[in-house]
Amino acid sequence: MAYLFTSESVSEGHPDKVADQISDALIDNFLAFDPESKVACETLVTTGQVILAGEVKSNTYLDVQQIARDVIKKIGYTKSEYMFEANSCGILSAIHEQSSDINQGVDRANKEDQGAGDQGMMFGYATNETENYMPLALDLSHAILIELANLRRENKEITYLRPDAKSQVTLEYSDDNKPVRIDAIVISTQHDDFGPEAEMLAKIKSDLVAILIPRIKAKYPQYAHLFNDNITYHINPTGKFVIGGPHGDTGLTGRKIIVDTYGGKGAHGGGAFSGKDPSKVDRSAAYATRHIAKNLVAAGLCDEILVQVSYAIGVAKPTSINVNTYGTAKVNLKDGEISSIVESIFDMRPYFIEQRLKLRNPIYSETAAYGHMGRKPETVTKTFTAPGGLSKTVEVELFTWEKLDFVDQVKAAFKL
């Protein structure tokens, strides 16, 4: 029997994502000037206020207040009527030095013996239902909000948009687990107050269906066939959405872990990503398991896979590695046997993950909105400025865990 599956996304202006982006901007700045920095930084945003808290071990000093303001400005909170504005909001820093008790479990005389920064389990997932090996409902949810943000910044076809927004896509799947059509789309977007509520809501719905949706279909032609005349649209279903962002809802780092990963497909170990340097396996091992999952599916080993890894704090070798191919494996091996071969291909000790994926670089700001997975690997040049005018320009690879650089090794190991 056909069934429905739903995933959601949130925009860069959503308060939780504002917090994530500030935390990851701090990570990038610390790593730019001291690649060995150990950072765990949390951010809280609310009406006119930003609070930074966390632990840092680094040789560099940063103007954390200015970094936060730059992020808020880039997102688009630049008007006083938003009640949260880049130049005027208060910023309190309660960042302090990392506990030496924790650090002794991570740093080692021999770097290869670097211990995991915490215990826990992490999951990576991949499916061949999209070109980027991501769940389709989440991919579409991200795409809707990326285009909505483009429309907001262009400020031409739609001129009343504000930064905060959420989306949700419900897909109908066939009996053989193939997406057939879009059943429902939910979009809630913050907007200017430009008239009577009924008229505002009617115009917003009309504009999003007539302007935004055609842009999605044009930009993502591989999904155009899923759109149909029977989609149920819920546009700002609660009514007007003028009060939003950190003024409408307090934001915290790490509260959108399903948006950040697979939209409810696969599994999640519970650890957030943003604000953590790569010694924290919550982040680095989640990237590494995604890298494994994507390369296994791309190599043709299976149609869908979930990879789990687990660690003990301070211990380099994982306590377990497990794969679940959901019965879609193309080789005559049990999942346990596949796990053993995977373990021989990918070294999952924290130091080797950092080296393989080049994680000690300032690459994290780009991850903090519209998902950490399924993004396009690319090389970019970034410039960072520290107090005193010290400037550093670096060339870095973004989204290295999305590279299909182990496909040949996987094919060889599994004789594909």
Three-class DSSP category at 55: strand
Q: What are phi and psi of 188, to 5 degrees?
A: -120, 115
Residue 178 counted as an annotated binding residue: no
- Report the alpha-carbon angle 71-75-81, nearest 5: 110
Residue 272 counted as an annotated binding residue: yes
Residue 249 counted as an annotated binding residue: yes
One-letter amino acid for residue 133 of the chain:
Y
Q: What are phi and psi of 51, to 5 degrees?
A: -120, 125
Residue whose C-alpha is closest to residue 132's, from 376, 410, 401 = 376
Residue 376 counted as an annotated binding residue: no
Residue 219 counted as an annotated binding residue: no
Q: How many CA atoms lie within 13 A of 174 on its CB side?
A: 7
Residue 16 counted as an annotated binding residue: yes
Name residue 43's beta-bridge partners: 52
Residue 402 counted as an annotated binding residue: no
Residue 405 counted as an annotated binding residue: no
Residue 199 counted as an annotated binding residue: no
Residue 198 counted as an annotated binding residue: no
Give me the DSSP letters along 267-325.
---S---TTB-TTSHHHHHHHHHHHHHHHHHHTTS-SEEEEEEEE-BT-SS-SEEEEE-
Residue 34 counted as an annotated binding residue: no
Residue 192 counted as an annotated binding residue: no
Residue 280 counted as an annotated binding residue: yes
Phi-psi region at 54: left, alpha or beta (left = phi > 0; alpha = psi -120 to 50)? left
Residue 156 counted as an annotated binding residue: no
Binding-site residue numbers for Mg(2+) are 16
Which residues are annotated as part of the binding site for K(+)?
42
Binding site listing: 14, 16, 42, 55, 98, 164-166, 240-241, 249, 255-256, 272, 276, 280
Binding-site annotation, residues for ATP? 14, 164-166, 240-241, 249, 255-256, 272, 276
Binding-site annotation: residue ranges for L-methionine? 55, 98, 249, 280
